[in-house]
Structure 1
Amino acid sequence: MQPTLRRAGGFALVGTVAVAAPVLERAAFAPFAAVALLAAFVITDGPLFDVFARPADRREGRLNGLAGFALAAAGLAILATEIGLPVGLFAAAVLVLAYGNLGKRLVAETSDNPFLGVAGFAAGGSAAGVGGQAAVASLTSSPVLLARFAFLAVAGTLVAALFREMLFERDDPVVMLSTGLLLWLFDGLATGVGTVEVAAGLAITVALGYTSYALGTASVAGMLSGVLLGLLVVVFGGFGWFAVLITFFAIGALSTKFRYDDKKRRGIAEENEGARGTGNVLGNAAVALACVLCFAASGSLPIDGTLFQYAFAGSMAAALSDTLSSELGGLYDNPRLITTLERVPPGTDGGVTWQGEVFGLAGAAVVASVALGLLPGVSTLGGAAVAAGGVVGMTVDSVLGATVEGPGFGNEAVNFAATLVGAAVSALAALVVLTAS
């Protein structure tokens, strides 16, 4: 057995102690605190040290990795017993990371394919997350809600996998704590999670993730970001919301790949063969994610949830409008700077072509049409509000590109600002329409 697999198995065994939290009650933190103390000050050599030691631990002569893991679990245990974090979510957060890492290491024994590694993490973490919640429910005589447990386990696993791709192995404590806190948020919003929505959300988003990676339209981290976003949109928003989201991702990805070699010769091609990373995905979709979470919480907010629906669609219209404007418009000659209309070389930030503007208008219209047809309560004027948000967001993106984009304000920040403006314009326009009617 490889040392990395043996170590992952050891961490998984330590993490399994989390399911005893209902029995230990307020002392649930104690086993993990004891492990942390032993790892930091007692176990400095011998068989146990060899099982848990990472390369950095061997250099320092101390099991810092195990100590950090155990301290993070102890912290979550205190949140569960003293602050109100559901005990099942505490167990899930610990287990999805521990068994996710084990699943990834098991795959690594036979393959170094990064997608298969992430799939192993997702399978191991999701299964352990469901099992941990079910075990806690049994120990507390609570109902076993498999659909809800599955949603939370998979969402937590995707969060953990994404953070693990972005961070380092030594950052497991940050991953665990972040996963636990986000699961707490998702649990509070998932008041009406149904079996159909969860099953469909899982099936659709897994298919989306595999397709995006297989076609080279997203990196592993970008794929995880998209899959997590898709799952949350289906569960918290619905299938109409997902249709709007996938319209952007599908058409945007195809436009990025369209005549890629020509774009490369012109110096305007996306890096990494057009595969979108986490920064690109979140730059375009962070506002949409905020909108769907606010929609899920709208019952507790003094704002009509319908406005978040328009804001969501407006942000996606802006994202697709800008993507088509740059990816397709950049194939044409004689771009002009949007602020001065002087001619600039292709690929210049803020440079636009009339063809690109037309493609951008078409992108906004496509998203508006999908919203009109599939989002409940969106009227013809509401569709126009979505399209307007898309066009304004595209224009703002170009203006920011011509004026402030640079090392301190990169492309992802510009995309975020443009989608935020698109969301605001659509929501305000919809408010006027709804008020007038």
Structure 2
Amino acid sequence: MLKAAAFAPFAAVALLAAFVVDDGPLFEVFARPGDHQDGRLNGLAGFALAAAGLAILVAAMEMPVALFVATVLVISYGNLGKQAVAAVSDDPFLGTSGFVVGGFLGGFFGQIGARLIEETAVPVASLWPSLPLFVFLASSAAVVAALFREMLFERDDPLVMLSTGLLLWLFGALAGPVGAVEIVGALALTVALGYISYALEAASVAGMLSGVLFSLLVIVFGGFGWFAVLMAFFAIGALSTKFRYDEKRNRGVAEDNDGARGTGNVLGNAAVALVAVVGFAASTRIPVDGTLFQYAFAGSMAAALSDTLSSEVGGLYDNTRLITTFERVDPGTDGGVTWQGELSGLVGAAIVAVVAMLLLSAVTTPVGGAVVLLGGLAGMTVDSVLGATVEGARVGNEAVNFTATLVGAVVSTGVAFLVL
């Protein structure tokens, strides 16, 4: 009954906001900048239409009602949380934190309420085993929504809601049993990571949200060993970016924004790893050995750290040569390499390989570590070759980084498949 009725109230609100309520106290409550000029509640109408669209998925495609409710409340209470913070502070980090906290509370209690309404005969105590899963879904939805809000405009709430709802549906389908200790540890680590990365100016607000989301998904879908591999890249990569930063800036080879990594940089380096984690979570439902996804994850991370260290360290030296012709070029030239940078890249790939050997169940032997190391070096080399040939006006740095990590994942997975 709830599924069939979910669409109607939101459609009615959208019609009222678009065509009926154009003045008065109710209009003032929901009006956003620009609504007064247009004479209608565009923001509320778009929000309600997006909720109605999700409600159609509930009825037509069996999207769980609890996830639908959580998505709507994450956006609603997230906006309220951000507005509450904006009344006392204009700090972007605090505003985003207000959105995440408000969205989490709305999503968490929304799932509980929806389950109780759907299963009226079920006692409240029976929901206790599901609470860690509710926490994971609410926190991941809140971070996803905050990330989209950071990247888009306030008027894009419909797109934020639809995207958040679909991703939350995916997370809910992939998530297995979530333990209380696991989710508490995951949230503690990811929140600490987000705060430290922003406080040390190692990431922008959007980059911080991307890192928090990736870390949370890696822990829940993979485990703390996977998280340690991810941290080997994030922590050492961030430190290498800050290493002798003023000198690199004077040489014209430093990262922009004082070295703070944005969403594009995080996605370019970690998107392949995220796909590998999702694939591992889905491996029980698809005819693919989950072991291969572990090698894909480790190989992509080895390539990311190898490339980062080779660039950050190599840019400090003058003996730069183009990888394709070996002619001398200025430091910082795309595709330029130094022996110091290449050695640093080798060390970076080796660090990830060792961490993977120690903590990933599939990579437990020196041969397995060598496979990861090989993927990392292959990715670093491809990054340099692409930098020398196509990077620039036609291809951006993020696309090159993505390709390098993809090569690292493919090489590690392919070699593991053949020799292990």
Structure 1 and Structure 2 fold alike (TM over 0.5): yes
Quote the offset at 1:139 in angstroms: 0.9
Deviation at 1:115, TM superposition (A): 1.1
4+ residue stretches of structure 1 with deviation over 3 A?
A: none
Cα deviations across residues 10-57 of structure 1 (Å, max 9, x unaligned)? xxxxxxxxxxxxx64402111111110001111111211122111221
What residue in structure 2 maps to residue 188 of structure 1? 173
Higher mean C-alpha deviation, range 103-112 or range 304-313: 103-112
1:422 pairs, out of 395, 408, 414, with 408
C-alpha displacement at 1:413, in angstroms?
Answer: 0.1
Aligned equivalents of 1:176, 1:46: Cα separation in 2: 27
Mapping for residues 5-44 of structure 1, pairs under 5 Å: 24-44=2-22
Amino acid at match of 2:226: W
SS in 2 for 1:92: helix
Q: 1:25 to 1:299 in 2, by over 3 A?
A: closer
Structure 2 residue 209 is the aligned partner of structure 1 residue 224: yes
Counting only pairs closer than 5 Å after superposition, residues 305-344 of structure 1 correspond to structure 2 as 305-344=290-329
Which stretch shows the higher mean deviation, 38-47 or 252-261?
Answer: 38-47
Who is 1:109 aligned against? 87
Equivalence for 2:195: 210
Give CA-to-partner distance per residue, 1:148-200, whole Å, 9 cap, x none. Answer: 00000000001000000000000000000000000110001002222222111
Instruction: Please tell me whether the aligned partners of residues 160 and 176 of structure 1 are also in contact (alpha carbons under 8 angstroms).
Output: yes
Matched, 1:126 2:112: no
The code of the aligned residue for 1:348 comes to T
Asked if the contact 2:3/2:65 (under 8 Å) is kept, the reply is: no
SS at match of 2:94: helix
User: Residue type of the partner of 1:27?
Assistant: A
Q: Which residue of 2 aligns with 1:402?
A: 388
What amino acid is the match of 2:113? A
CA distance in 1, matches of 2:216, 2:51: 26
Partner AA of 1:194 in structure 2: G
Q: Which runs of 5+ in 1 are unaligned?
A: 1-22
Corresponding residue SS for 1:299: coil
Task: Quote the offset at 1:67 in angstroms.
Answer: 0.4
1:282 aligned to 2:260? no
Q: Is the 8 A contact 1:247 1:367 kept in 2?
A: yes
Indicate if the aligned counterparts of 1:381 and 1:433 stay in contact, CA closer than 8 A.
no
Listed as ranges, the matches of 1:8-87 within 5 Å are 24-87=2-65
Of 74, 83, 88, the match for 1:96: 74
- Counting only pairs closer than 5 Å after superposition, residues 338-417 of structure 1 correspond to structure 2 as 338-378=323-363, 379-417=365-403
**Would the aligned equivalents of 1:382 and 1:433 in 2 still touch at CA under 8 Å?**
no
Identify which of 89, 102, 114 aligns with 1:136.
114
Number of residue pairs the alignment of both structures matches:
412
Query: How far apart in 1 are the matches of 2:148 and 2:362?
Result: 37
Q: Is the 8 A contact 1:166 1:221 kept in 2?
A: yes
Partner of 1:13: none
> After superposition, what is the alpha-carbon deviation per residue over 1:357-390, rounded to whole angstroms, capped at 9, x for unaligned?
0000000000000001111131210100000000
CA distance in 2, matches of 1:198, 1:81: 31
Contact kept in structure 1, 2:136 and 2:183, CA below 8 Å: yes
What SS does structure 2 have at the residue aligned with 1:276?
Answer: coil
User: Which residue of 2 is the match for residue 158 of structure 1?
Assistant: 143
Letter in 2 for 1:129: G
Give me the whole-angstrom Cα distance separating, in 1, the residues matched to 2:4 and 2:118: 14
The sequence identity of aligned pairs, in percent, is 71
Alpha-carbon distance in structure 2 between the residues aligned to 1:249 and 1:25? 43
Residues 322-362 of structure 1, C-alpha deviations (whole Å, 9 max, x = no match): 00000011101120000000001111100000100000000
For residue 212 of structure 1, report the CA deviation from its aligned partner.
0.4
TM-score scaled by structure 2? 0.97
